[in-house]
Structure 1
Amino acid sequence: MRDALAPSRTLDADSLLRRVEALNRFLRSVDGLLPPDRLTGAHTVVERADARLALSREHTVVALAGSTGSGKSSLFNALAGFALSPVGMRRPTTGEAHACVWGSLEGANALLDWVGVLPRHRFVRESALDGNDHTALHGLVLLDLPDFDSVRRQHATEVDRLLGLVDLIVWVVDPQKYADRTIHDVYLRQLKSHADVTVVVLNQADRLAGEEQEAVVLDLRRLLAEDGLPDVPVVATSAVRAPALSPLRMVLERTVVARQAALMRLSADVDATAARLGELVGPAAAEDTVDRAAVAALVDAFAVMAGVPAVVEATERAYRHRAAGLTGWPLLRGLRRLRPDPLRRLHLDLPSSGPTDGLLDGLSEEADRPAPLPASSVPDPDASQRSAVKLAVRQVADRAAAALPEPWRPGVLDAARSRLDDVRDALDSAVAGTDLGLRTPIWQRLTGFTQWLVTLAAGIGLGWLIVGYAIRALGLPALDYPDVGATPLPTVLFLGGLLAGGLLALLVRPVIALAARRARRRADQRLRAEVTTVARKHVVAPVREVLQSYARAREAMALARSDHA
């Protein structure tokens, strides 16, 4: 057992303030993420600590608590030297807390207002007539609490409230009921972390002979050890014999002079709270635990939901459609226009000309750069696609929460789901606003220009031949056609133009197919990049915010648990 007359350690108020602030930061970090019922006690401790530290530290509030008949009111009166609190041996007579202040009430009144002692139950115990008898107790605020086993429920409620506010608790027991299970199970056993601010008094010790008193004290210490309080001071006293009050009086004097009880009580409250909340934090969790395989699966599910496969397929077909229309025989281009452009059907028509990285792409003008449309006509996701998205979101949450304690996991899942209602519109806007890279390369323009030249040559040759046949039919002298070898030039122009146009169209067809596949891959990459941005913003970012909150809470809890200065 530690020395009943000396504090076990010296605390620094600034260190305690830092621990309380750390506990407060922990509560702010977990707000909305953990069950509120598990944090109520911690909020109470922070509020009480802030309030007590703002009040007088020159006063020490000591409570006498006990059961009916233990003699705590008699002990209260004996210490005060006056009959201030009503006494009863069989019936609870103290219905409201009484307070006796040694010294001036200045500073003590605000403290008693906070504790909740009515002004009519406040007394001052020090005057010029007392000499030096009470000087050592200057600053003591002694409370006589109601009986915790009173038949009136409000008495027990008041005791519980006051026990949470006082600086030092003196438990008063008597030789007959010192082993009562109520005081041990309901109260003392719950004060393991408050041993430094707990004293047990065996009152009415004058009823016991010397050996009997020693035996009862030893048995009381055994019970306290079973309660987890082996070092709590045990003092034998009596309210009817002044010398028997000396041990308790010396404990109170030493406590008042040290001015440490309030800090020790608050520190014990923080210790108990931190120990209780310790299971809410565990090992460190990296924020990038959600940025790998789980996000890849999420992007796949979002891509299907956004219709990326359909858009990618339409992009390839649109590239073929537009390239064939530009590089094919000009006289047949009108027929191709009767076939709808695949991207226009999805309201993703992005015709343009400009720089391109396609096969054989060259420089081109910027005038036709696409203007993205606000929405697409991609089909709405079906039930299986929505289920796949929900499963992928849950996988992200599960992977992120794998290293976190169990109470955090629902919060991580809620965060992952928090913006799902906005995902569909975000994906649609992302798809509609994606530059699919469908530029008109220079080689297509040159091919189209060449097609017009050979078509013009074929037209000139055909017209030349028609004119020659018309002159001959009119009996006029025949035209003298220039020859290319053995073939007239008009025939060469006509047949050569037709043959060159068809051959050119055949030659560029595999080039168009290869470029279309590259356009497909390029569109897929760009669409997936936009989908990834949506996934990170709407699922990953909220989850990472929870992980950041966990990191802050873990750091704050480490500070709240830190050793005392």
Structure 2
Amino acid sequence: MTNIAGRVREALRGDQRVDPDALIARLDAVRRFLDAVDGQLPDTQLVPANTLVERAGTRLALSRDHTVVALAGATGSGKSSLFNALARLTLSTVGVRRPTTGVAHACVWGPLDGANRLLDWTGVLPRHRFVRESALDADDESALHGLVLLDLPDFDSVQRSHRLEVDRLLGLVDLVVWVVDPQKYADRVIHTSYLREFHRHRDVTLVVLNQADRLPPAELPRVLDDLRRLLDVDGLGGVPLLATTAVDPAGIVELRGTLEHTVAGRQAALRRLAGDVDAVVAGLDELVAAGAPSDAPDEGTIGSLSRALAGTAGVPAVAAAVEGAYRHRAVASTGWPLVRGWRRLRPDPLRRLHLPGPVADADAGDPAESLVAATSVPDPTAAQRSALGLAVRAVADRSGAGLPAPWATAVTTAARSRLGDLPDALDRAVAGADLGMDRRPVWWRFVGAVQWLVTVAAVAGLGWLALGYALRALGLPALEYPRVGEAPLPTVLLLGGLLAGLLLAALTRPVVRWSARRASRRAERRLTAAVDAVGREYVVTPVRAVLDRYGQARQALRDAERR
């Protein structure tokens, strides 16, 4: 008998003591996991973890000097009789009527004051609390000081409220003693609905075959072996299994001795919480079962997104307008002065898009000018909108590839979370981009000055010739024109000025076209960079934030695992 009791106590004690600091660190890791996944995963999947953090914090803040042990069983298993036998008092009603025990009863070894807060937390009513301490006991009960023994309602009660109360209390107690009887020890309900659910709490689980006195001595080992087989199937291999009888004080010696060692060790509460963490981590593991997140989305995917955004933002149209505006302004500055006025009558392509140039042209003192863009860039076509949708989807798909389904969904949601703000953001980016059209090149000024010089020469020659013609018409003495070779100087000035102006305009036209294309490419690069920044801020950054949260959650869950 002593050897059996020793083995039971050793099995219940476990391989190692639970370090409170390590347990608190694991709980903190679960809390960090919850912080990381907040808003990313459905709340329904996080209920066990949130419950654990709240319950563990409360339990650790309450008495560490008390161990809450629950007797759980079906109607007729004799758990109330066992409860009374351990207390050596008649505290809980005994019977075979269903249900017999409707509410939890508590027996406290030691002063009740120290356990009241704990019992308030478990919800045991004050009128069902009893104290097992008497001057007549001397030191007979001192080994159990700190034990809070609960007699739970019958888990197979026909009243649903009783079953719910059992389920609630089983989530709060430090150690559970499952009481079965020889007739119903193989009942499917207790094994499938309860014992198998406690396979991660082997360190705080004890099974007793009560009413063993009803079995012939030769049958008891066979029944215990069969019960052990069932427990192994339930994943409770190694869980202590005792045979008890409440009608004989000797029939509970092993159980009482096991409870004494449990109370003395002050480890049951810590082991229960450690088991709870194991169960929660196992339940959450599928949410971060994939490998560490990559640096997705890759630059190739981001480049595709930028190109799609550029099309949506009208970058090609603006680049073409820049080329047209450059040619328009260049010709207006370097063309023949006699036709410049006609050129100025044509609209400037950039002005037509309400893109006067850099932000410096606007009123820098008006905050509204920096917040609201009023461009007239053409609206994107259906094809461009479709291309943008596909690019955003590609970012989400490649970033969420290999992640668990909830995280892949969170990535997709993040990628699309700010699509409604994209049109305004792109408009502001285009309106605020420096298109490089704010300054006139020096060579425009030089060519323009030469054009004015040759035009003045032509006008001077024309005026000189006109004066000579007028004098001849009036019969006045004719003017003597200086000559350049055989040609009169006024004629040379007129024809030379006209020809020089036309020739200069013809020579600068290819330069203007080349410079306009160069300005267009420069503007397109700047616009693409501005649009790329918008895409990274509104699509890529939210996606990477989710991936960072996933990495934090994954690391937190790894930290929460038992070492």
Q: What TM-score comes out, normalization by structure 2 length? A: 0.94
- Asked whether the equivalents of residues 73 and 86 of structure 1 are also in contact (C-alpha less than 8 Å), the reply is yes
Q: Please list the CA deviations of residues 168-192 of structure 1 after superposition, one character each: whole Å capped at 9, or x if unmatched.
A: 0000001111111110011001111
What aligned pairs does 1:425-464 form with structure 2 within 5 A after superposition?
425-438=424-437, 439-464=439-464
Summarize the Cα distance change of 1:29–1:353 in structure 2 as closer, same or farther, 3 Å threshold: closer
TM superposition shift of 1:119: 0.3
8 Å CA contact 2:358, 2:434 repeated in 1: no
- The one-letter code of the counterpart of 2:244 is T
Q: Partner of 2:124: helix, strand, or coil? A: coil
Distance in 2 of aligned mates of 1:115 and 1:173: 24
The residue aligned with 1:366 is none
* Structure 1 SS opposite 2:55: helix
Distance 1:348 1:415 in 2: 32
Higher mean C-alpha deviation, range 205-214 or range 272-281: 205-214
Shift of 1:403: 3.1
Map of 1:9-158 to 2, 5 A cutoff? 9-158=16-165
Q: Deviations over 1:245-275 (max 9, x none)?
A: 1110011001000000000000000001101
Q: Secondary structure at the match of 1:170?
A: strand
Whether the 8 Å CA contact 1:65–1:170 is kept in 2: the answer is: yes
How far apart, CA to CA, are the structure 1 residues paired with 2:243 and 2:250?
Answer: 11
Deviation at 1:477? 2.4
Output the CA distance in 2 between the equivalents of 1:301 and 1:89: 76
CA drift of 1:341 comes to 1.0
Q: Could you give the per-residue CA deviations for residues 2-43 of structure 1, whole angstroms, max 9, x where no partner exists?
A: 932131120111111111111011111111211221111111
Q: Partners in 1 of 2:543 and 2:382 — Cα distance?
A: 25
- Match in the other structure for 2:552: 552
Contact 2:359 2:434 in 1 (8 A): no
Quick one: which of 297, 309, 332 aligns to 1:325?
332
One-letter code aligned to 2:539: V
Looking at structure 2, the residues matched to 219 and 259 of structure 1 have their Cα atoms a distance apart, in angstroms, of: 32
| Worse-superposed segment, 226-235 or 398-407 | 398-407
Distance 1:185 1:315, change over 3 A: same
What is the CA distance between 1:378 and its match in structure 2? Answer: 1.2
Amino acid at match of 2:254: P
Match of 1:271 among 265, 275, 278: 278
Q: CA deviation at 1:91?
A: 2.9
Alpha-carbon shift at residue 352 of structure 1 (Å): 11
Three-state SS of the structure 2 residue aligned to 1:68 is coil
The amino acid across from 1:423 in the alignment is: L
Distance 1:500 1:353 in 2: 38
Q: 2:175 aligns with which of 161, 168, 179?
A: 168
Identity %: 63
Deviates more, 1:259-268 or 1:383-392: 383-392
CA contact (8 A) 2:72 2:176 kept: yes
Return the alpha-carbon distance in structure 2 between the equivalents of residues 380 and 298 of structure 1.
Answer: 18
| Closer/same/farther in 2, CA of residues 52 and 523 from structure 1, 3 Å limit | same
Give distance in 2, aligned partners of 1:73 and 1:466: 133
In the alignment, is the contact (CA less than 8 A) between 1:73 and 1:85 conserved in 2?
A: yes
Post-superposition Cα deviations, 1:151-174, rounded to whole Å, max 9, x if no partner, equal 111111100000000000000001
Q: CA deviation at 1:235?
A: 0.6
Give the Cα separation in 2 of the matches to 1:205 and 1:46. 40
Q: What is the CA–CA distance in structure 2 between the aligned matches of 1:409 and 1:449, rounded to whole Å?
A: 65
The more displaced of 371-380 and 472-481 is 371-380
Summarize the Cα distance change of 1:50–1:351 in structure 2 as closer, same or farther, 3 Å threshold: closer
Deviates more, 1:68-77 or 1:129-138: 129-138
Question: Which deviates the most, 465-474 or 136-145?
Answer: 465-474
How far did residue 128 of structure 1 move?
2.2
Please name the residue that 2:227 is paired with: 220
Instruction: Give the 3-state SS of the residue equivalent to 2:207 in structure 1.
Output: strand
| TM-fit CA distance, 1:547 | 0.7
Structure 1 counterpart SS, 2:26: helix
* Contact 1:291-1:540 at 8 Å conserved across structures: no
Aligned to 2:417: 418
Tell me the distance in 2 between the aligned counterparts of 1:329 and 1:553: 71
Q: Which residue of 2 aligns with 1:409?
A: 408
CA distance in 2 between counterparts of 1:283 and 1:94 reads: 47
1:313 counterpart = 2:320: yes
8 Å CA contact 1:419, 1:538 repeated in 2: yes
Offset of 1:286 from its aligned partner?
A: 4.5
The residue aligned with 1:519 is 519
**Cα drift, residue 350 of structure 1:** 2.5
Q: 2:461–2:489: 8 Å Cα contact kept in structure 1? A: yes
- Whole-Å Cα distance in 1 between the matches of residues 141 and 235 of structure 2? 34
Q: What is residue 257 of structure 1 aligned with on the other side?
A: 264
Query: Is residue 285–residue 404 contact of structure 1 (8 Å, CA) maintained in 2?
Result: no
Q: Show the counterpart of 1:4.
A: 8
Paired residues of 1:287 and 1:548 also in contact (CA < 8 A): no
Q: Which runs of 4+ in 1 moved over 3 A?
A: 282-288, 351-354
SS in structure 2 of the partner of residue 169 of structure 1: strand
Matches within 5 A, 1:363-402: 374-402=373-401
Helix, strand or coil at the partner of 1:142: strand
What is the Cα deviation at residue 351 of structure 1? Answer: 8.6
Q: Indicate how the Cα distance of structure 1 residues 352 and 207 shifts in structure 2: closer, same or farther if over 3 A, else same.
A: closer
1:288 and 2:292 are equivalent in the alignment: no
Q: Secondary structure at the match of 2:402?
A: coil
1:324-363 to structure 2, matched below 5 A, reads: 324-350=331-357
| CA deviation map 1:446-505 (0-9, x unaligned) | 101110011001111111111122222223222222222222221111111111111110
Q: Distance in 1 between matches of 2:101 and 2:475?
A: 144
Contact 2:109–2:147 (CA under 8 A) maintained in structure 1? yes
Aligned partners of 1:521, 1:180: CA distance in 2, in Å? 81
Tell me what 2:485 maps to: 485
- Of 285-294 and 460-469, deviating more is 285-294
Task: Tell me the distance in 2 between the aligned counterparts of 1:465 and 1:287.
Answer: 83
Equivalent AA in structure 2 for residue 462 of structure 1: L
Normalised TM-score (structure 1): 0.94
Return the alpha-carbon distance in structure 2 between the equivalents of residues 108 and 196 of structure 1. 23
CA distance in 2, matches of 1:182, 1:288: 49
